[in-house]
Every structure is written in structure tokens, then in C-alpha cells.
Amino acid sequence: MTTGDQQDVGVEASASPPSSADVLAQLERIRLSAEFDAPDRDRKFLAYVVEETLAGRGDRIKAYSIATEVFGRGSSFDPQTDPAVRIEAGRIRRALERYYLVAGRSDPIVISMPKGAYVPTFERRADKPPATDKASATPPQEMPLSRRVRRPVTLGAAALVCGLAGLWAGLPFLPGSNAATGGSDRPNIPKLIVTPFEDLSGTRQSAMMARGLTDEVVGNLARFKEIVPVTRDDPVRKPGDRAYLLEGRVRLEGERLRLVVRLVQRSDGSVVWANTYDERLQSGEVIDLQARTAAAVSSAVAEPYGAVFQASAAELRRSVPKEWQAYACTLTYYDHRGDADPQAHRSVQDCLQRATRQFPTYATAWALLSMSYVDALRIRFDPSTSTGMLAQAGEAAARAVDLAPLDVRALEAQMLVLFDRGEVDAALAVGARAFAINPNDTELAGAYGLRLALSGEWETGCKLLSDATARSLGHTGVFEASLATCSYFAGDYAAAERWVHLVKPDASPADRLLLLAILGKLGKTDEARQQRQWLETNAPALLGDPGQALAFQFRRPEDQHRLFDGLRAAGVPVPEAEYQQAGAAGAIR
């Protein structure tokens, strides 16, 4: 954290230094929190540097010692050429900042890792008692930490989303106004400068391979509309400009190809992401190899939840300049995909609505606004409002497609609206067109795969969904809920339960209804009773008429019938006439 960050969380230099026991207790609190967005290796990284510092060995904490003792790297590790430790340290800093913004606001001890160093600092809040807030306590036992989804590094808490919406509310924007951007009619979105990949081998074939990979990557990046890929840097930098450099090095030795790629923040030269791609070069497969490798690079960098997204979100979490507010709204949408909190959804929708008023030609904002209405229908199923909300979603999707007919996010929004209207064939046709335009967009691939599955093409759709989940750098529980559905209809109820437990802790009523059917199939009556009680209290309309809710998502009667089986086993009183009607309709089909 910077000095300013420490002031934000209430650290006072005059407070007495914390004891080792206090620091270790705080470390455990952080490591057990679902709001500390870091993988296991980074949790071990943090524990290592904290424990070494407390033991008086802070001077021994170097990139080399971390790489060898924490990451298990060999003695040949060279921190000058391998940025792995620097990258992970950056992630830890961002994860700590997010933790103290969300769950750790009342924690008595602040652990931080100053930029440019790996030795942590420990400071006590002078005016804060030990935290008793639920958010900083151990996660509920009903959903173990190991099963909780690790969310990507994004804008974060609903409080920040509400703050962003409030900031917009205070600006004197009129419909179509562009006062905050100096007269521009286009929103700021990150620029990605792709430099020619460097040939390290110096042969004719390796030079051709480097040029070919560069061209393929640029072509693939151009299919993503959330960034602006360019092949040369503009020497004139505008105020508030946010740009990244994509650099690559190609080495070809015999039949072995290695591509090392890294994403660099242009403003300070810091490496925000890096990866290595190894391929075996077979005779006559050069073009296929280039296409496959370039697809993997472009997807990892440019898709929603990709490296540019995560790096931008980390920067905008600290402050949101006026000229970047519209883009920040799109980030908040993805961050709250799986949230069941109505206030967070309304804040995101308000932010996107303002973005579309300020930039009426911003197709991405229109598409995400449409998708936010569709998400709300699923999360807060209410037959009395579904028609109006679906109409709003349709209008926003139509606007997005009119503005950008080849934008896969606009087409994805149109597909979702058509499917929820019951126009399944039309929805799948739009999804197929979007997937053909950009098969490397895992967000689109997952949504299209689920609709294929729900239309009856379970094997094809679930395979596509599973592949998208494996390739995505991060998601918010949406894919996991979909894979739980796939496992249920494959008859693997144990796997379905594992997947559904990876959904966010505050699972939506629709996800809980699916979990209830799964528990019924597994014969877990006590857990099913708990889920029924939650639904009776929080979503009585859903539990009172599950058939209507199931028909909204599961269009085929035979699929509804199979879910009725699980719900009945879980103790849900499904009317006999409705149960028999779904079974009979499925048998006829």
C-alpha cells in the first residue's frame, strides 16, 4: 500500500507497534477471508514474507529466496529475466488493498507490502478495537473456503460501485452530453500497443515465425471491442491516457517453439502479466500452430477478466478519472455478475445507463446494460416485472447491435434476450454468428454453450462451456452455476454439488433452487431443509411456483420434469398435475 492507502484505512504512525502474535492473527484473518483475492501460491508468499520478517530475517527476503522457497523454482532462477516474483507481489498488493477496502475496514492491524520491496510492514490502527465485523471473520462453515470461487482482481465492493454511481449522479450530464471528456463522442478504453515480436534465434524460419505470430495476435485482438489494439505507439500522450505494451520473444530450436509474452504498463514500465507458450513444430503445421498460439495469447490478454481488464481494474480501484468513468462502469458489471444483491445490481445499471446517455454510440455499454436486465430477471425472478424488464433488455440489445453488428458482446446480449423470450432457434443462430466472429472470447463461448445445452444439445453445449471455463482467467460464479446444471443433467449429482458450491456465497434464489434439486437427488435431507427455509424466507414466490421459474430458463418440458424429480425428493411440494404435464410433454417430444 502507498502512504495514502494507509491513511484511508485509518493507520496512525503514533500507534504502538503490533506484537508478533497480533500480526500472525491478522495474517490468518486475511488468508481465511474470501475477500483476499489471491491464489494459494500468493497466500503462501504473503505468509512467508510475514513470518520471515517477524523472525528478524527481513534482510534475506529477495526475489530469489521467494522463488526457490515458496514457488519451488530451481537454483537457476534469475530475477533479472524472470518477472514471476514481481508479478505475484503486485497481485498481493492489489489483493491487500481490496481486502482492507472490503472485509478489513475495521481490522486493528494493517499489513502492507510497499511497492518496490518484498518486506512487509505492520501498523496498528490507533483508534480501532479488534474487529468483530462478520465480514472479517472466518467464512461460514456451510461453504468451506476451499470451495469458494476466487474472484478476479476487479473494482471490488458494492460500496465502490455505489460510490461510482453517486459520483456520476453529481455530474451535470444531460442526455448526449460529453462534458467530462473534453468534447469527445467516444469513451476512453485501454489502448494495447503490439510491438513486433522479437526473433531470438536469428534464422529465416524463426524470423518468419515471429512476424507471423505478431500478425496473428493483432488479427485476433481486433475481434475484442473492449480494447483498441494498435501496432505503433503515439508519441503524443493525452492526459489520463491508459495504454499497455504487448511484447513477445520467439525462440525456435529444432522442432521446439517457445513464445514468451508479457504485458507492460506504458506509464511506468511495470510488468502486469507474463506467460510462456511452448509448442512442438510438426511438418506442415506452421499456420495452425501460429493460429493456436495467437488465439491463446489474445484471449488471455483482451477478453473480459483478461490481463488488460484486471490491470485496468486495479488502477481504477484507486481512483476513477472523469474521462474513464464510462469504461469503469463496464468493469463493475463483470465484477458483479454473480451477485444476488439488488442494490449492487441497481447501482451497476444506473452507472451503465449514465454511460449510454453520455456516449450514445458506446455499443459495449448498451450490450452490458441489456445483459444486466437479463441477469436481474434470473436473480430476482418476479413474474410481475419480467415482461417490462425483458422489453428494456431487448431495446438495449437492439441498440447495441445497430451500433456494432459485428461486436460479439452486442450479439451475446441479443442472444440472451431472444432465448428468454422463448425464441430459441433465433437465439442460437445469433450465438453461432457471434461465436464464428470470435471463438476466443470465453465470456461469449460460455453463454452460447449454456444456451445450446438448455435447448437440448447438452453434450455439445456443456463441452463448449467447460472449455470456456478452463480457458478463462477469472469469473464470478456464473460459469460454475452453469456447469452445475450440466452435471445435474449428466446424472453426476456429486459433481453438480461441487460446482454449485463454487458459486458466490450469496447465491441467487435460482442457484439455490438448483442446489435444492441436487440435494434431493443426493438424499441430503437436512441440507435440503436448510435451503428450503432460506427460500421460504427470501424467495417465497419462487418456491411457491417452481414450475414457472423453471420454465423461464429450461424451455424443454423433459428438462423441467427432471428438475421436478430432484425438487420433489428435496421436499418441495410440486403439484402432481404440473409434474405429470411436464413428463407427458417431454415424452411426446
**DSSP-derived secondary structure for 12-70:** -TTSPPPPHHHHHHHHHHHHH-TTS---HHHHHHHHHHHHHHHTT-GGG--HHHHHHHT
Higher pLDDT, 74 or 147: 74
The fraction of the chain above a pLDDT of 90, given in percent, is 36
Q: List all residues 6 or more positions away from 385 whose beta carbon is below 8 Å from its beta carbon.
A: none
12 and 112 assigned to the same domain = yes
Together in a domain, 16 and 97: yes
Burial (CB < 10 A; 0-12, 13-18, 19+), residue 87, is middle
In 3D space, the residue among 108, 110, 87 whose CA is nearest the CA of residue 41 turns out to be 87
- Based on the fold, state whether residues 245 and 124 are members of the same structural domain: no
| End residue of a domain, out of 138, 163, 182 | 138
Q: Is 292 helix (H, G, I), strand (E, B) or coil?
A: helix
Q: What is the DSSP letter of 301?
A: H
pLDDT at 341: 72
* 128 and 213 co-located in one domain: no
Same domain, 9 and 134: yes
Q: Do 196 and 129 lie in a common domain?
A: no
Containing domain of residue 203, as a range? Answer: 191-310
pLDDT at 180 over 60: no
Indicate the range of 25-29, 145-149, 218-222 predicted with least confidence.
145-149
Kindly report, residue by residue over 41-87, the tens digit of the pLDDT: 888 899 999 999 998 888 889 988 998 888 887 888 888 777 778 87
For the purposes of burial, counting CB atoms within 10 Å of the CB of 204, is it exposed (0-12), middle (13-18) or buried (19 or more)? Answer: exposed
286 in a structural domain: yes
| Torsion sign over Cα 122, 128, 134, 138 | positive
Q: For residue range 85-96, what is the model confidence (pLDDT) as tens digits?
A: 887 888 888 788
501-536 b/e (C-beta count within 10 Å ≥ 16 → b) = bbbbbebbbbbbbbbbbbbbbbebeebbeebbebbe
Band of residue 439 on the pLDDT scale cut at 50, 70, 90: very high
Burial of 58 (0-12, 13-18, 19+ CB in 10 A): middle
Q: Cα separation of 549 and 564, whole Å?
A: 11
Question: Is the residue at 277 inside a domain?
Answer: yes
In a domain, 294, yes or no: yes
Q: Kindly state whether residues 13 and 133 are assigned to the same domain.
A: yes
Name the more confident of 34 and 485: 485
Q: Which of 578, 544, 553 is nearest to 564 (CA)?
A: 578
Same domain, 27 and 134: yes
Establish if 524 belongs to a structural domain: no
Report the C-alpha gap between 55 and 6 in whole angstroms: 24
Does residue 249 lie within any of the structural domains? yes
Query: Which of 321, 292, 295 is closest to 306 using CA atoms?
Result: 295
Specify whether 205 is located in the same domain as 292: yes
- Do residues 264 and 301 make contact, with C-beta atoms less than 8 angstroms apart? no
Report how far residue 281's alpha carbon sits from residue 304's, in angstroms, rounded to the nearest whole number: 30
Do residues 548 and 570 lie in contact, with contact meaning Cβ atoms separated by under 8 Å?
Answer: no
Number of domains making up the chain:
2
User: Measured between alpha carbons, how far is 226 from 397 in angstroms, rounded to an integer?
Assistant: 17
Q: Find the helix or strand (DSSP H, E) in which 217 lies.
A: helix 204-221
At 144, is the pLDDT very low, low, confident or very high (cuts 50, 70, 90)? very low
Q: Are 238 and 286 in contact (CB under 8 A)?
A: no
Q: How many Cα neighbours within 13 Å face the side chain of 112? A: 20
pLDDT tens column, 500-509:
877 765 667 8
Shared domain check, 12 and 130: yes
Inter-residue contact 112 to 94 (CB < 8 Å):
no
Instruction: Answer yes or no: is 589 within a domain.
Output: no
Domain finish residue from 94, 117, 138:
138
User: Would you state the pLDDT for residue 166?
Assistant: 44
Q: Residues 6 or more apart from 57 whose CB is under 8 A from it?
A: none
Q: Global pTM?
A: 0.69
> Which range among 103-107, 258-262, 408-412 shows the weakest confidence by mean pLDDT?
103-107
Alpha-carbon distances of 331 from 45, 167, 316, 500, 521, rounded to whole Å: 28, 16, 9, 24, 38
Cβ atoms of 190 and 245 within 8 Å: the answer is no
- Alpha-carbon span 362 to 178, nearest angstrom: 12
Q: What is the pLDDT of residue 585?
A: 54
Q: Is 253 helix (H, G, I), strand (E, B) or coil?
A: strand
In sequence order, which residues have a C-beta less than 8 Å from that of residue 312 and are 6 or more positions away?
A: 190, 242, 327, 331
Residue 481 lies in a domain: no
324-357: pLDDT as tens digits: 899 999 988 887 776 667 777 788 899 999 999 9
What pLDDT band is residue 479 in, cutting at 50, 70 and 90?
Answer: confident
User: Is 288 in the same domain as 225?
Assistant: yes
Q: Which of 310, 344, 376 is the last residue of a domain?
A: 310
Does residue 202 share a domain with residue 90? no
CATH number of domain containing 295? 3.40.50.10070
Judge whether 185 lies within some domain: no
Q: How many angstroms from the chain centroid is the CA of residue 303?
A: 10
